[in-house]
């Protein structure tokens, strides 16, 4: 079939809107009509060329929601009409990783997903007879896409696509980092570096679990109001702090943060996040994705004296199990999404969504098909 898609033709170039060809689902695959997709910093990271795994030409997008239109042979858990969120971290429930409660990094289709291909090693998308790469196994910048069954979460059919698409990445990553990765306790003190689409969700996750102190750190003073809107108790702009930021934050948190979260992708900030964690027990969680080849550093004594450095992908969530629950939390009013969707665009304006991200004007732009 012919579908409408934003094609990433080359690194550093704007996306191009084309009619592309999409083959139907093969065994274990599902055809999904994408109704809405968020534009995440990670799409920008790949499009810019900074992503060492970036492949072109490709159909990017990994934060979508839609409806099942057709299923391939052997698909048992989904049927036509089901509402779904595609998962860039699948959940096969059978591999060594899925069977280990310590991780959410299902490896069932990791190799082909990283090659921009479906699990059988081929692509379903093509343009004028030439194959296009899939992206993160999801490719939601097309109004129809084919996704493996194990990479689809079935969700409440009453949930609005243009809001819950954000659960496909930003919301789950931020809230999950607090609940699944840090397992933060009520009454804890936390510092969140970077108050964008991810950091604000870390803040609302901390509010949800009953953190006592939530310090937000951002260079952009406009983010103060945004952070407070979701539960931040203190705001720090590093450029306005006299002297070093780390001792300032240690003092503010009365000895250091129980938990700190880096939501930028800046290796210098990652160090600050670790070093503002409390001696003896503070944990620092890296969420931001740093550019190709970058490295982190600290004095090992920081770890010897009881701080720990950890990372999280997709908030440690097991998508088919956890994403439907997060959709329900949204429907029950336990978490907020609507105010973070600052811009809604048509597919033809998708490049404007990237511009809004660059200028810092948007928290999340969503493309509605």
Element housing 76 (H / E): none
Determine the Cα angle at 264 with ends 347 and 293, to 5°. Answer: 95
DSSP three-state, residue 20 = strand
Active site residue: 29, 37, 63, 89, which one?
Answer: 63
Active site residue: 92, 228, 233, 343, which one?
Answer: 92
205 binds ligand NAD (CB under 6 A): no
Is 343 labeled as catalytic in the residue annotation?
Answer: no
Exposure of 263 in the CB half-sphere (CA atoms within 13 A): 30
296 binds ligand DAO (CB under 6 A): no
- Other CB atoms closer than 10 Å to residue 102's CB: what's the count? 7
Is 318 labeled as catalytic in the residue annotation?
Answer: no
d(CA 73, CA 3): 22
d(CA 131, CA 124): 8
Sites for ligand NAD among residues 296-325 (CB under 6 A):
312-314
Peptide bond into 114 cis (omega under 30): no
- For 131-162, the DSSP string reads E-B-STTT--SBSEEEEEGGGEEE--TTS-HH
Interface pattern 55-94 for ligand NAD (x via CB under 6 A):
----------------------------------------
Is 62 labeled as catalytic in the residue annotation?
Answer: yes
DSSP three-state, residue 2 = strand
d(CA 333, CA 236): 29
Nearer to Zn ion by C-beta: 3 or 106?
106
The residue range among 102-110, 246-254, 269-277, 352-360 that interacts with Zn ion, by the rule CB under 5 A, is 102-110
169 binds ligand DAO (CB under 6 A): yes
Element housing 53 (H / E): none
d(CA 89, CA 169): 10
Give the ranges where 148-222 is alpha helix by DSSP (H).
Answer: 161-164, 170-176, 199-209
Active site residue: 98, 188, 263, 276, which one?
Answer: 98
Nearer to ligand DAO by C-beta: 89 or 181?
89
The interface partner of residue 223, options being ligand NAD, Zn ion, ligand DAO, none and the CB cut-off 5 to 8 Å by kind, is: ligand NAD
55 binds ligand DAO (CB under 6 A): no
202 binds ligand NAD (CB under 6 A): no
Nearer to ligand NAD by C-beta: 75 or 249?
249
151 binds Zn ion (CB under 5 A): no
42 binds ligand DAO (CB under 6 A): yes
The interface partner of residue 353, options being ligand DAO, ligand NAD, Zn ion, none and the CB cut-off 5 to 8 Å by kind, is: none
Q: At what angle do helices 41-48 and 350-359 cross, to 10 degrees?
A: 100
Q: Interface residues with Zn ion (CB under 5 A)?
A: 92, 95, 98, 106, 108
Q: Which residues carry out catalysis?
A: 40-42, 62-63, 92, 95, 98, 106, 110, 169, 364
Q: Interface residues with ligand NAD (CB under 6 A)?
A: 40-42, 45, 169, 173, 193-199, 217-220, 223, 238, 263-266, 269, 287-289, 312-314, 360
């Amino acid at each position: 079939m012919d579908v409408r898609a934003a094609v990433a033709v080359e690194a550093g170039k704007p996306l191009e809107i084309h009619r592309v060809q999409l083959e139907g689902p093969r065994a274990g695959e599902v055809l999904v009509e994408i109704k809405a997709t968020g534009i995440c910093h990670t799409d920008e990271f790949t499009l810019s060329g900074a992503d060492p795994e970036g492949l072109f030409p490709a159909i990017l997008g990994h934060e979508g929601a839609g409806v099942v239109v057709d299923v391939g042979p052997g698909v048992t858990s989904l049927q036509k009409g089901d509402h779904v969120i595609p998962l860039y971290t699948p959940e096969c429930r059978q591999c060594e990783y899925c069977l280990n409660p310590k991780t959410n990094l299902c490896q069932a289709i990791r190799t082909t997903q990283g090659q921009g291909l479906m699990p059988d090693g081929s692509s379903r998308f093509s343009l004028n007879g030439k194959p296009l790469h899939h992206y993160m196994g999801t490719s939601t910048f097309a109004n129809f896409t084919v996704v493996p069954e194990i990479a689809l979460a079935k969700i409440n059919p009453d949930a609005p696509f243009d809001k819950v698409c954000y659960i496909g990445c930003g919301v789950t990553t931020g809230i999950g980092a607090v609940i699944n990765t840090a397992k933060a306790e009520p009454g804890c003190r936390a510092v969140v570096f970077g108050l964008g689409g991810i950091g604000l969700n870390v803040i609302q996750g901390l509010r949800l679990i009953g953190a006592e102190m939530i310090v937000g750190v951002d260079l952009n003073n406009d983010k103060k109001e945004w952070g407070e809107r979701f539960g931040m108790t203190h705001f720090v702009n590093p450029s306005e702090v006299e002297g070093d930021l780390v001792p300032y934050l240690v003092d503010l948190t009365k000895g250091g943060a129980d938990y700190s979260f880096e939501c930028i992708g800046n290796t210098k900030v990652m160090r600050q996040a670790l070093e503002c964690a409390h001696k003896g027990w503070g944990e620092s969680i890296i969420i931001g994705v740093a550019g190709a080849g970058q490295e982190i550093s600290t004095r090992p004594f920081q770890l010897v004296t009881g701080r720990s450095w950890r990372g999280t992908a997709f908030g440690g969530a097991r998508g088919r199990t956890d994403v439907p629950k997060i959709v329900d939390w949204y429907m029950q009013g336990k978490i907020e999404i609507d105010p973070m969707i600052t811009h809604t665009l048509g597919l033809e304006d998708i490049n404007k969504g990237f511009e809004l991200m660059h200028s810092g004007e948007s928290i999340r732009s969503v493309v509605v098909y």
